[in-house]
Structure 1
Amino acid sequence: MIPRIFIVDDEAPARARLSTLLSDIVAECPHYLVGEAGHAQAALEGIAATAPDLVLLDVQMPGMSGLQLAEQLLNNAGSTEPPLIIFVTAYDDYALSAFDVQAFDYLVKPVRATRLAQAIARASRVRQQVQAAPAAGSATARPRQHFAVQERGRMLLVPMSEVLYLKAELKYVTLRTKTREYLIEDSLVSIEEELAAYFVRVHRNALVARHAISGVERVMHLPHSDGDGEKPQEIWQVILRDIDHRLPISRRQLAEIKSLVR
């Protein structure tokens, strides 16, 4: 499926920047740019006229904010499937609110072309699955609000807002809240694809809730070895709110995690 994309941002240079990025990635990430708008009312009219699959939406706009616009699109959908929302904003502290309006992803400016392409590709796959599913089951493609945990013969629902991180260990994924740990059978890959607006990957075996990140720190680690003369290695760790625990950050993810705490 080739997605139809609509851009909403009150700043013309920002809209132009997104258009340029889309042009740069069109070969690897085919799409149609069907329209753009500088404020919410024009966006509502344009989206109704063009029926995009995906909306690239700013958060802070005069009048109706991007969050309010996303909520209205969701509430006005009726029997039709609303477009998936990818927020593109200079502010990283709206990620939790974006999740509340069922945003698909949350990108912080300046957006890298590779990150935008990844978000669009994931959204396209989800959109295609929704279109292929029976109408009665289409709601299952919407982001969940809880994690279901089987424990001692009963089902527990852990609210998304309480989850600090998820870590893959052997056959299971450990879900950590402020007070305790749970084991779930979901894979990190599936969680990341479904809940990219809420969680960010810090390492190949760990996802962290964006709201739970309070900082990063650099530590020097001496490798365990019987040999002499081993040099300490520099390791970056993410500092989490509410718990005295650190998770390592891979070199590949370091720049993105740093950008979230600036």
Structure 2
Amino acid sequence: MPTQTPLKILLVDDEPLARERLRTLLGDIAGQCPGEIVGEAANGLQALEQLEKQAVDVVFCDIRMPGMDGIELASHLGRLANPPAVIFTTAYDNYAVQAFDLNALDYLMKPVRAQRLLTALQKLPGTRPDPAVLAGIGQAVRGGGRTHLSCHERGRLLLVPVEEVLYFRADLKYVAARTVEREYLLDESLTHLENEFPEQFLRLHRAVLVARRAIAGFEKAAGDDAEAYGWALLRGVSEKLPVSRRQWVAAKGGLGNPV
């Protein structure tokens, strides 16, 4: 790793004292590994806002943080064309640490030590996080799916709050996520989304998942309608979603409606 150019570093931790300790340690090892701390953030959402303005080489991030945790942050960063390296910091959750290690992601146990910090930085450039692997680990750690989904649009990384998505519809190689305001194209698979969010979303059709809270009701399709056996009516938008014959009973039953 060349030492003449300082690494651009972002510190992400909801504890100011933890960020201050990292700042001090990075100063202590600057002679062996020069680095420039270009920003700090208290959670993943704040970090992504900063990264819109300033690219970095490496992100140090805690695992457990409010708003958006470090695992979810890393999964979004892993979708960037040139993602920064991610080094996790943690005081607990050893089972998660083992999973990161198996997937060639580095981590630092708190309290962080200077030599361990230097060893981690000397691995750069290293393996970048795999978003799919991180999503699975994140479910195990936090007991649920991501809070946000991400997509690229005109060179920018956009975040889509999961709680705002009305439905997902498979569209060729992409999945369209529809909110009340607009549609986003995601590089995701419908099956993966169904497995990640089983409590929030319901399968209506081989190409459609719908948010349970978004369903206003169901209606049978006309006898000559070849597109669907029935239709799901939505709250907030005028669109109707097709329900296949195979999913009709399960979809209505999944909302506690009489079939």
Asked if these proteins are the same fold (TM beyond 0.5), I'd say no
Larger radius of gyration: 2
TM-score scaled by length of structure 1: 0.44
